[in-house]
């Protein structure tokens, strides 16, 4: 007879009246390790000595302790032998082994079979019944060797520091943070820890673990340091206090290509303190159980895999399809045994300089480094042999497509064109995607099945994009795109597929591309950036640079430019340190940042990405026409009640509505607050000081729906604190401080706009 196991407040063994990793308080529970999702304020706790000390720090209180060393056999209940074994998850993590009436039982908790650098090595033992944690129970969660991942993390830190940015490594405060810290041993970095990670690292040191030198985080002295932090939102006040932060998530979920988007970070590295798919398989083989219960993560899928291998396996608390093959577990029949990777070949010297293959191979090289210097060297090598027309073509293909192109080519149309071009099917695409979770890797598999020889030139691709944009309907677009895909080599096809889906795997930004233009034509990079700021089109900037006519590029109506950013500061003192005691401040409205362009009767609004949003706020069109001037203004749309802002969430009600629902103007009232003037009557004002731009803006007549944000002159920290409190009471997001003599230059290396977020009112 097997062991009775119930999934109730963690797991429960009714024969013994003991819980396993209960989260809500119970009389008696085994706690496998000191993560909050595995412990509670129980009356009695069975655990290892390190876990006991960590729990006492994280959940202080009186309780009865049953603390046992690893490998020490003891009697848990009359007739029930027990022993704790290291789980390899974090410091002190333990597995529980039991034996009663000749029946043995092993509960893993969270575990990791591959030896890590911040936990005792896992020690599997034979058992009749195995309860195994299966967070990563699918084949795609097979992690690369840890030494390679740690080398990539070190490279990321080194290159980020070389680029003048601050590397911020995200990992949970207990376990992952200590592993990241140990991985930086002997690398010569100065390391700072978030307060939570700092506190727990000191606790681990008291348990006998050794770490390289580290410091508590100090925003005044964080430049040039590697920073380790628990995962935090990109807009959190703490992350915003780090100047030029470049963030990286350290997680097993980094295997998924969407991880950087999900975690809102710049990089993601696949490293976990849980067992990966191969670890799970090897662990079961070492334990050799007669019955297996899987819990957490992909429990159902991994149980099905084990049944296919001849084990009696069930997912606790899940519906189990006994005897049925689960397609999600097995790789697609024609999928490669491993994830397809980019070719490692360098740029082919025999390729014509204007070949699209050469650009696509350059893109592969760009994606493989975070070093801005090496990226620039690759760009210089690409552009050097090209004439001015092909330089412009190359830059347009390295830049993101315009919002118009992306709107006309939805990802589904691009995917269907790829399927049709490669003779595949929707089912096959889905099957491959299930294994890789990455459309680009799926595209590489499909292109490799029907490889074409490189034959397309840069001018042919740019010409094709113009033809595609003018195609009369989606069916015709799909036909054209499928035919083009058939002509592309695997490397070309993968890059073009990514490009049309709006992805940029190269890690390029406008600053780097402007520097490449400057290098190509031996010009000043700041002059190139100033021209790009006004046109937002690299190809046109490149052509003007070739003619030495960059000064002729001016801001134009209905061509939105990049918005001016504001750097978050932690305190009024930090603002005063950078901008002086006498401050120019404005209330920061909590709404949607936008630009409004008006030329005669034509009015359009654009969001911060440059996408047209006029249809969402049609009431502003008539209101703007009441203002006699022709202008381009920086502004913000705010949900507005009776002389007071409404909660920011009210705007969300408008974002998913149809343009014809004009009655929304009454349903969710809004106000447009103007706060900077970028162009007036066709004159470009970007180079003028803010003070002059605002003097001109203040001559505008306001309307019931369009107003001008007032300037608040503040002197000293006390007045700033009072203004912040007033901003919070008024429902605003905080204060923005601006250098009154600064031009409007979003590409500037030294920010002239600073912000202090308002603290919520009690």
343 or 226: which leads in pLDDT: 226
Tokens of 29: 């529970």
Could you tell me the pLDDT band of residue 403, with boundaries at 50, 70 and 90? low
Tokens of 170: 């995200």
Q: Are 484 and 500 in contact (CB under 8 A)?
A: no
Q: Are residues 673 and 734 in the same domain?
A: yes
**Does any domain span residue 36?**
yes
Report d(CA 421, CA 485) in Å as an integer. Answer: 6
Report d(CA 676, CA 561) in Å as an integer. Answer: 13
Coil vs helix vs strand at 547: coil
**Does any domain span residue 350?**
no
- Those residues with Cβ within 8 angstroms of residue 718's Cβ, 6 or more apart along the chain or in another chain: none
Q: Are residues 260 and 368 in the same domain?
A: no
**Does any domain span residue 560?**
no
712 or 403: which leads in pLDDT: 712
User: What predicted TM-score, i.e. pTM, was given to this entire model?
Assistant: 0.68
Q: Are residues 135 and 150 in the same domain?
A: no
What is the residue-averaged pLDDT of the chain? 88
Q: Are residues 545 and 653 in the same domain?
A: no
Of the three residues 315, 347, 378, the one that is the final residue of a domain is 315
pLDDT at 159 over 90: yes
Report d(CA 258, CA 705) in Å as an integer. Answer: 40
CATH of the domain at 427: 1.10.3260.10
Report d(CA 197, CA 175) in Å as an integer. Answer: 9
CATH of the domain at 250: 3.40.50.12650
Coil vs helix vs strand at 431: helix
Least reliable range by pLDDT among 55-69, 181-195, 570-584, 638-652: 638-652
**Eight-state DSSP code of residue 757:** E
Residue 105 pLDDT: 97
Nearest 5°: phi and psi at 96? -110, 120
Tokens of 455: 């034959």
Q: Are residues 265 and 293 in the same domain?
A: no
Q: Are 113 and 25 in contact (CB under 8 A)?
A: no
708: domain range? 567-757
pLDDT at 386 over 70: yes
Residue 317 pLDDT: 66
**Does any domain span residue 338?**
no
Q: Are residues 204 and 280 in the same domain?
A: no
Q: Label residues 406-429 b or e (16+ Cβ within 10 Å = b).
A: bebbeeebbbbbbbbbbebeeebb
Neighbour count for residue 476 (Cβ, 10 Å):
12
Nearest to 304 by CA among 288, 282, 322: 322
Mean pLDDT of 585-613: 93
Burial zone of 540 (CB within 10 Å; 0-12 exposed, 13-18 middle, 19+ buried): middle
Nearest to 711 by CA among 697, 730, 722: 697
Q: Are residues 176 and 127 in the same domain?
A: no
**Does any domain span residue 733?**
yes
Could you tell me the pLDDT band of residue 350, with boundaries at 50, 70 and 90? low
Number of domains the chain is built from: 5
- Those residues with Cβ within 8 angstroms of residue 526's Cβ, 6 or more apart along the chain or in another chain: none
Residue 347 pLDDT: 44
Give the dihedral of Cα atoms 43, 48, 50, 54; nearest 10 deg.
Answer: -20
pLDDT at 343 over 80: no
Nearest 5°: phi and psi at 98? -130, 155
Mean pLDDT of 413-427: 91
pLDDT at 336 over 60: no
Q: Are residues 572 and 541 in the same domain?
A: no
**Does any domain span residue 44?**
yes
**Does any domain span residue 172?**
yes
Mean pLDDT of 644-660: 71
303 or 660: which leads in pLDDT: 303
Residue 751 pLDDT: 84
Q: Are residues 747 and 621 in the same domain?
A: yes
CATH of the domain at 635: 3.30.470.30
**Does any domain span residue 128?**
yes
Q: Are residues 205 and 136 in the same domain?
A: no
- Those residues with Cβ within 8 angstroms of residue 488's Cβ, 6 or more apart along the chain or in another chain: 356, 447, 452, 456, 496
Q: Are residues 740 and 611 in the same domain?
A: yes
Of the three residues 208, 242, 269, the one that is the final residue of a domain is 269
Mean pLDDT of 190-204: 93
Q: Are residues 648 and 579 in the same domain?
A: yes
pLDDT at 328 over 50: no
């Amino acid at each position: 007879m097997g062991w009775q196991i119930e999934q109730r407040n963690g797991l429960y063994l009714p024969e013994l009246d003991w819980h396993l990793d209960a989260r809500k308080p119970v009389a008696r529970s085994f706690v496998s390790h000191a993560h909050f999702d595995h412990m509670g304020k129980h009356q009695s706790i069975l655990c290892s000595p390190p876990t006991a000390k960590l729990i006492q720090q994280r959940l202080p209180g009186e309780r009865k302790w049953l603390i046992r060393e690893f490998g020490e056999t003891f009697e848990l209940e009359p007739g029930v032998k027990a022993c704790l074994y290291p789980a390899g998850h974090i410091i002190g993590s333990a597995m529980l082994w039991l034996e009663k009436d000749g029946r043995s039982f092993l509960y893993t908790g969270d575990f990791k079979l591959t030896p890590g650098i911040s936990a005792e090595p896992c020690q599997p033992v034979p058992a009749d019944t195995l309860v195994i944690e299966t967070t990563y129970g699918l084949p795609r969660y097979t992690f690369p060797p840890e030494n390679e991942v740690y080398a990539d993390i070190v490279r990321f830190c080194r290159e980020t520091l070389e680029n003048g940015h601050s590397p911020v490594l995200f990992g949970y405060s207990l376990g992952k943070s200590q592993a990241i810290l140990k991985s930086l041993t002997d690398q010569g970095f100065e390391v700072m820890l978030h307060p939570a990670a700092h506190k727990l690292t000191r606790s681990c040191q008291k348990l006998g673990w050794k770490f390289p030198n580290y410091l508590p985080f100090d925003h005044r002295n964080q430049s040039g340091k590697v920073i380790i932090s628990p995962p935090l939102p990109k807009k959190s006040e703490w992350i915003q206090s780090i100047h030029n932060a470049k963030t990286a998530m350290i997680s097993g979920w980094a295997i998924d290509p969407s991880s950087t988007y999900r975690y809102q970070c710049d990089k993601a590295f696949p490293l976990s303190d849980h067992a990966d798919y191969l670890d799970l398989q090897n662990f079961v083989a070492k334990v050799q159980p007669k019955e297996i219960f899987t819990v957490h993560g992909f429990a159902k899928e991994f149980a099905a895999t084990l049944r296919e291998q001849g084990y009696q396996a069930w997912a606790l608390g899940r519906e189990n399809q006994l005897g049925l093959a689960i397609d999600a577990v097995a790789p697609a029949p024609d999928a490669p045994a491993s994830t397809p990777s980019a070719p490692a070949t360098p740029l082919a010297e025999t390729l014509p300089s204007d070949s699209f293959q050469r650009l696509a191979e350059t893109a592969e090289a760009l994606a493989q480094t975070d070093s801005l210097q090496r990226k620039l060297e690759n760009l210089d090598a690409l552009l050097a042999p090209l004439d001015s027309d092909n330089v412009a073509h190359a830059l347009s293909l390295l830049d993101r497509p315009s919002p118009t192109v992306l709107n006309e080519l939805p990802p589904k149309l691009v995917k269907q064109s790829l399927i049709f071009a490669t003779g595949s099917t929707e089912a096959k695409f889905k099957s491959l995607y299930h294994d890789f979770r990455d459309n680009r890797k799926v595209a590489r598999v499909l292109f490799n099945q029907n490889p074409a020889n490189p034959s397309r030139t840069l001018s042919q691709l740019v010409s094709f994009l113009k033809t595609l944009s003018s195609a009369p309907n989606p069916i015709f677009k799909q036909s054209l795109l499928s035919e083009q895909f058939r002509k592309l080599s695997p490397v070309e096809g993968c890059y073009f597929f990514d490009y049309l889906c709006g992805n940029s795997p190269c890690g390029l930004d406008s600053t780097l591309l402007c520097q490449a233009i400057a290098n190509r034509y031996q010009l000043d990079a700041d002059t190139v950036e100033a021209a790009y700021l006004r046109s937002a089109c690299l190809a046109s900037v490149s052509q003007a640079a070739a003619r030495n006519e960059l000064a002729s590029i001016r801001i134009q109506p209905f061509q939105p430019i990049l918005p001016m950013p504001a750097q978050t500061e932690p305190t009024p003192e930090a603002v005063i340190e950078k901008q002086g005691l006498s401050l120019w401040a404005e209330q920061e409205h909590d709404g949607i940042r936008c630009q409004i362009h008006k030329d005669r009767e034509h009015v359009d609004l654009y969001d911060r990405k440059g996408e047209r949003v006029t249809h969402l706020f049609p009431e502003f069109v008539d209101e703007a026409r009441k203002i006699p001037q022709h202008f381009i203004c920086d502004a913000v749309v705010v949900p507005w009640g009776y002389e007071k802002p409404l909660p920011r969430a009210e705007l969300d009600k408008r974002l998913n509505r149809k343009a014809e629902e004009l009655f929304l103007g009454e349903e969710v009232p809004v106000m447009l607050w103007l706060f900077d003037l970028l162009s007036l009557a066709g004159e470009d004002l970007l180079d003028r000081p803010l003070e002059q731009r605002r003097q001109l803006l203040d001559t505008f007549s306001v309307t019931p729906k369009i107003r001008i944000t007032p300037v608040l002159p503040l002197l000293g920290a006390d007045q700033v604190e009072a203004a912040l409190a007033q901003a919070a009471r008024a429902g605003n997001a905080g204060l923005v401080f601006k250098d009154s003599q600064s031009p409007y230059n979003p590409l500037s290396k030294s920010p002239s706009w600073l912000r202090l977020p308002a603290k919520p009112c009690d």
